[in-house]
Structure 1
Amino acid sequence: MAKPPVRSCPIWTLPSNLTNRQRMATWRNLKPSELTRPTKCPALPRVVESDGQQSLADLRALVTAERALLRDEMLKRGGFLLRGFEVNDPDSFADIIGALGYQPEAENPFDTSPRSKVAESVYTSTDTPDAYPILAHNENSFLNERPRMISFFCLVEPMRHGETPLFDSRAAASTLDPNVRAKLQEKKVCYRRRFPKKRPGWAPIINRTWDEAFGTSDRDEIEAMVTAQGMVCQWHPDGRILHTENVVDPLPRHPETSEHCLNLQAFHRTSILRDLDEVRPRQNSLHNASLKMGLRLLYALDVMPVQILYGDGTPILPDEMIEIRRATWDHSVLFRWKKGDVLVLDNILTGHGRMNVEGPRKILASFADPVTFPV
């Protein structure tokens, strides 16, 4: 493969003419002590930290008054983190998202991650078992329509690990090997999903059943929802399994900056096993080995809940997926959550994931402002 170009994440500076309300908070980058490891993207995300114990009302006033600046910061950097304010519950989180001017949307029934609703337009970020790392992804990048904004709220600070890695999608796209990038642009990518009617007792909660995904077991209703999304669907002969398939553009242009962004969910054997290698030093070695063995078995039996291929149905080669993963992880940020943190991301510019978790952790999520990228 050709050597990819070197592109550092941009470092932006805040205007010097701050208002008094802006001076209620410190505007800064994450400190090295707040990161799990060094990053090439020190400007992602912009941190807005309370100068003292600021109330929810203070934060609401701040984000309302400085909405345009915060949105500009997110457009430049990909996201911002509100830290040290009194955001203590799901309703407070929803209040701040509303003050930012976003229009929250309901949970997407096609979402791959199992999650639970906890308040109006507020959900658990995932109910996937703690031991499994969650692949780097831009939310719903397997659909032509996805939220422009995704936000997270730390209700329970992780006891150990449990970071939400962030990925600069612009930098990943621009540093991708030119041959791989050209192939992705030409062929697009196809996602094949497998929805069981019932989850086997031995299976971990890593995907949704019909009822969980669509809220109904009526096959006609499900087919109508699926085809409305432009997907192809097919039922297993005995009706136990629904298979869906759709093609999307993995390198869409951002609606404002027009930059290509790598929006992709790497449901690929190579990437999943390498993510388990990523967290192996942080897990019991026998437990990690058993997770890898289980995933290899799911692939061998061809029962993985989601698989990714090229848009023409040909496989993405292991070396190509390794390159896609390299471009993504080379531009990652792993920061440690603090209780009350509110993280707001431009979902096209910035991907996210989850590292393995030990002990209690509860991160909530909200989605807003859908945008469509037709193929």
Structure 2
Amino acid sequence: MQFNRPQFSLKNIQPKTVDLPEDILQREAMLPGHFPMVYKPAIDGISLGSWIGDHLADIGADLKKYGAILFRGFDVPDRDAFQEVMKAFGEELMSYKDRSSPRTEISGNLYTSTEHPADQVINMHNELSYSHTWPLKIAFYCSKQPLERGETPIADVRKVLKRLPDALISSFKQKGILYRRLLQKGVGLSWQEVYQTEDRAVVEQHCKTYGLNFKWLEKDALEIKWCRPAIRNHPVTGEEIWFNHGYFFNFMALAPEIRTAFASMDELPFNTYYGDGSPIEPAFLTAIFEAYRDECVYFPWVNQDILLMDNMLVAHGRNSFTGAREINVVMMQPFGEHA
């Protein structure tokens, strides 16, 4: 079966302004479904960090309802200012462990976004949904907007789940997902990069603690396998959500030119199966791709934008781009089986 890489087109922006109790800030619906909700300053000189600290309940209510908030037009001149704004939430920041993509830590759990080549599309996913611990909130900061494209598409995974066929949902609920990774230097990430250590004993203890089956292979490679649910309930709203990397890590999600570079499935840095080890039907993989595609919303980045998301309600990706692009990210509020 042939999979096409996702292509996105701009959707019309139809603002609707609603006043908050304080008239220093406006809330605008980017689309009729209010996704994402856009916060803009109505006057100059607003301290975004101070405003957030005084309105955590309002922000939390919008995140629970809409899943994503775009802060646009505020004076957040650089990455240091972004970090200060994020401190206003009073949440624990996560370090990027159990890595699946190349990133650079700038300082204090502030990272670059995924450093894949500019011509590649990054498929939709919820951050670290494959792991034992993931962030409940994630925030992106536009330090340098790209010349062309480079958007961060977002999709409400409550709506993604509703688009999936009943038979697919039943299969994944019953079987879950088996993840397989081959960690080796030169192809994908090495185990040293993923676990941020040179000590095999540390890696083995991590695998034992979190229930990962592991096997050391030739050329200092490591194979790991583990099972996770495909569908979870949001810890605050109780809603069922599609929360996994089942499509993202699957062989069929790779671009055709990348798939042909591997002689066998055993060479892949990632792959996914049903929890019992059986293959996921190609028709179901197509349905997952289409559900993400049909719920995808995206918008051009503007310098100093901050996109705050409930990581369990909203998936994100990345469009290809031209020109320089720098998006920074912080992950907040660790949650999961071992948080």
Please, what TM-score do these two structures have when normalized by structure 1?
0.81
* Structure-2 change in CA distance of 1:28 and 1:299 (3 Å): farther
Give the root-mean-square deviation of aligned CA atoms.
Answer: 1.9
3-state SS of 2:233 partner = coil
CA contact (8 A) 1:90 1:119 kept: no
User: Which residue is 1:187 aligned to?
Assistant: 175
Which residue of structure 1 lines up, in the alignment, with residue 76 of structure 2?
A: 87
- In the TM superposition, residue 239 of structure 1 has moved relative to its aligned partner by 4.9
1:260 matched residue in structure 2: 240
Task: Indicate the SS of the match to 2:328.
Answer: strand
Q: Does residue 159 in structure 1 map to residue 139 in structure 2? A: no
Measure, in 2, the Cα distance between the counterparts of 1:361 and 1:67. Answer: 30
Give the C-alpha shift of residue 299 in structure 1: 6.2
1:346-357, aligned counterparts within 5 Å? 346-357=310-321
- Check whether the contact 2:17–2:26 (CA below 8 A) recurs between aligned residues: no
Distance apart, 1:93 and its partner CA: 1.1
Equivalenced residues, count: 321
Q: Given that residues 99 and 193 in structure 2 are in contact (C-alpha distance below 8 angstroms), is that contact kept between their aligned partners in structure 1?
A: no
Shift of 1:191: 0.8
Cα 1:363–1:25 change in 2 (3 A) is same
Verify: 1:249 aligned to 2:240, yes or no: no
C-alpha distance 301-188 of structure 1, shift in aligned 2 (>3 A): closer
Report the alpha carbon displacement of residue 370 of structure 1 after superposing the two structures with TM.
1.5
- Cα displacement string for residues 156-201 of structure 1 (whole angstroms, at most 9, x for unaligned residues): 10111111110111011122100000001000001101111x22xx
* CA apart distance, 1:301: 5.8
Q: 1:343 is matched by which residue type in structure 2? A: L
Percentage identity across paired residues of the two chains: 27
Aligned mates of 1:271, 1:43 — CA distance in 2: 29
Partners in 2 of 1:264 and 1:14 — Cα distance?
35
Q: Does 1:74 align with 2:63?
A: yes
Stretches of structure 1 lacking an aligned partner (at least 5 in a row): 1-12, 32-40, 274-291
Aligned residue runs from structure 1 range 188-207, under 5 A: 188-196=176-184, 198-199=185-186, 207=188
Amino acid at match of 2:226: N
Question: Which secondary structure does the structure 2 equivalent of 1:297 belong to?
Answer: coil
* Matched residue, 1:360: 324
Q: Which has the higher helix share?
A: 1
Partner residue of 2:39 out of 48, 60, 72: 48
Deviation, structure 1 residue 14: 9.0
Contact kept, 8 Å, 2:92 with 2:334, in 1: the verdict is no
Between the aligned partners of 1:193 and 1:53, the Cα distance in structure 2 is 49
**Normalising by structure 2, what TM-score?**
0.89
* Aligned equivalent of 1:213: 194
Distance 1:341 1:334 in 2: 13
What is the rounded CA distance, in whole Å, between the counterparts of 1:294 and 1:105 in structure 2? 31
Asked whether 1:227 is paired with 2:208, we answer: yes
Q: Is the counterpart of residue 309 in structure 1 residue 273 in structure 2? A: yes
- Whole-angstrom distance in 2 between the partners of 1:305 and 1:44: 34
Code of the aligned partner of 2:137: M
Q: Distance in 1 between matches of 2:158 and 2:182?
A: 30
Measured after TM superposition, the shift of residue 60 of structure 1 is 1.5
